[in-house]
Amino acid sequence: MSRWLRNYFEDRDSINEHVEGSCTNAQLGCSDEEFTKLTKMQSAPDERLTRVLPGRKGKLPVSPLKMLVGRECNYNGRGRFSLSDSCHILSRYLPVHSPSVIDKMNSCVYVSQFSADGSLFIAGFQETGIRIYNVDLGWKIHKDIRARSLRWTITDTSLSPDRRFLVYSSISPVVHIVDVGSSTKESYANVTEIHEELQFSSSGEDYEDYNFGIFSVKFSTDGREIVAASSDDSIYVYDLEGRRLSLRIPAHQSDVNAVCFADESGHIIYSGSDDSLCKVWDRRCFVAKGQAAGVLVGHLEGVTFIDTRGDGRYLISNGKDQAIKLWDIRKMSSNVNYTPKRRYGEWDYRWMEYPEQARNLRHPDDLSLATYKGHSVLRTLIRCYFSPAYSTGQKYIYTGSTDSSVYIYDVLSGAQVAKLDFHDDPVRDCNWHPFYPMIVSSAWDGMLARWEFPGDGSENADPIRRTRRRRRFFY
């Protein structure tokens, strides 16, 4: 850091501390009793299976061998494993070994995701569009989509619940929808296949002239609606059956980088913005109130991504303050007119390092349940997720990182349980298979890498490491 920049931050610190009061150190890990109990219920074995012998309780985690003995001896009285028993076993086999390259493109990978059943994998590239891979058929390309009116990059994709349609967004107010179930493998926009436009702007002008874009887009669980986050500080809801924009919410004071439905009902929407706030929107009372149901305060810088736990209560957010935060919306603030204040107004995460003196600070009004640190969120909108409910009981959270790695944290202790090193450039996105111990990381080096558990007993084996000079990006 240059002397001028160091002096600027030091001066800025003294100003902010004088005005806002000094922030306390951030506390890692979750101490919320209800969340802790819920997570343990989903990922801990039956108490009777923890006993080596009847009447003698063992320590956690319980080895698979002891649990199998307990099952065969019917210690739990069921004669079989419960879902939490299975999660306790499966969550021990982390997909952190033997990275293999699925595909390599001469274009940065921005987004990637498994379908809900794990049969398909979608990857969005900066210059070449989208590829859909058939996981069950050895990762063969199911569909190669050349995006229509691509501006800068594919910013997000979302697959419909029935896996029939894919929507993709770019730096424009138009989202396109593609028929994934068609027999056409090479999908060139409006040449070999129609990529239907879903217009998110009310203006009648040519959308190429518009100055806002869509950063995040998600299907509702019933497949009837799409929710989108945009750079004009707004959230949009699009009615697919009516082919019309049904709702626009002026949601934040800066770019809205992430949005999602809270649960299957579709009533609650979460949003995260560059104004450093996460907000909760209840559509059932929005018409009457015209404002957010509540605000989640705690990040010191902008929010890059959010992921819901799917229960309508808990979510996580990744922030430019180099931290993931866990939230309970029942603890949100009712002060919906809260005005956030940036500690470093001229700091730009796209090309500047995060101030060292700010790494251990905590917002004085922090409402989060837990904070997770170790990864870096610079240059691009790094994404984070809960681990799968089926195989891990959501006992982990994981994220990409600017330092070219994937980080996995224990959701209760906040401890880093794994760091996956393989890529040469920032890992913007990564996705855990919904059922198998498998993670696919996607990075700006153009590679999709698959991480798995080896199954040969070598749990402590180090993943493959490559040493190459990293390219630097400033956007």
**Segment 148-201, tens digit of pLDDT:** 888 889 999 999 999 999 999 999 999 999 999 888 888 887 788 889 999 998
Those residues with Cβ within 8 angstroms of residue 455's Cβ, 6 or more apart along the chain or in another chain: none
pLDDT given for residue 407 in this prediction = 98
User: Between these two residues, 473 and 232, which has the higher pLDDT value?
Assistant: 232
Whether the predicted pLDDT of 341 surpasses 80? no
Contact assessment for residue 446 and residue 105, using Cβ atoms and an 8 Å cutoff = yes
Sign of CA dihedral 412, 415, 417, 420: positive
User: Between these two residues, 471 and 415, which has the higher pLDDT value?
Assistant: 415
Look at residue 12 and give its three-state secondary structure. helix
The mean pLDDT value for 120-146 works out to 95
Percent of the chain, pLDDT > 90?
Answer: 64
pLDDT given for residue 256 in this prediction = 98
Whether the predicted pLDDT of 122 surpasses 90? yes
Least trusted range by pLDDT, from 87-96, 105-114, 285-294, 376-385: 285-294
pLDDT given for residue 106 in this prediction = 93
User: Domain-by-domain residue ranges, the chain?
Assistant: 47-81
User: Between these two residues, 324 and 81, which has the higher pLDDT value?
Assistant: 324
pLDDT given for residue 322 in this prediction = 97
Where would I find the H helices in 24-96?
33-43, 64-72, 83-90
Whether the predicted pLDDT of 12 surpasses 70? no
* Cα(218)–Cα(168) distance, integer angstroms: 9
pLDDT given for residue 463 in this prediction = 42
* Cα(195)–Cα(191) distance, integer angstroms: 9
pLDDT given for residue 459 in this prediction = 44
* Cα(145)–Cα(124) distance, integer angstroms: 9
**Segment 235-273, tens digit of pLDDT:** 999 999 999 999 999 999 999 999 999 999 999 999 999
Whether the predicted pLDDT of 370 surpasses 70? yes
**Segment 447-475, tens digit of pLDDT:** 999 999 975 444 443 444 444 444 444 33
User: Between these two residues, 208 and 199, which has the higher pLDDT value?
Assistant: 199
Residue with tokens 């450093």: 276
User: Between these two residues, 332 and 71, which has the higher pLDDT value?
Assistant: 332
User: Between these two residues, 9 and 192, which has the higher pLDDT value?
Assistant: 192
* Cα(235)–Cα(259) distance, integer angstroms: 8
> 90 falls in which pLDDT band (50, 70, 90)?
confident
Whether the predicted pLDDT of 430 surpasses 50? yes
Percent of the chain, pLDDT > 70?
Answer: 84
Least trusted range by pLDDT, from 283-287, 307-311, 348-352: 283-287
How many helices, marked H, and strands, marked E, lie in the chain? 6, 33
**Segment 32-57, tens digit of pLDDT:** 999 999 999 898 877 766 665 555 55
pLDDT given for residue 458 in this prediction = 45
Least trusted range by pLDDT, from 160-169, 199-208, 280-289, 373-382: 199-208
* Cα(293)–Cα(348) distance, integer angstroms: 30
Neighbours of 83 (CB within 10 A): 12
* Cα(156)–Cα(142) distance, integer angstroms: 19
Those residues with Cβ within 8 angstroms of residue 369's Cβ, 6 or more apart along the chain or in another chain: 30, 31, 32, 35, 314, 325, 326, 327, 328, 331
Whether the predicted pLDDT of 2 surpasses 80? no
* Cα(1)–Cα(74) distance, integer angstroms: 62
Contact assessment for residue 398 and residue 409, using Cβ atoms and an 8 Å cutoff = yes
pLDDT given for residue 288 in this prediction = 59
Residue 299: name the closest of 282, 280, 316, 286 by CA.
316
Where would I find the H helices in 265-339?
283-289
The mean pLDDT value for 428-441 works out to 97
| First-to-final CA distance of the chain | 19
DSSP secondary structure string for all residues of 452-467: E--SSS-TTPPPP---
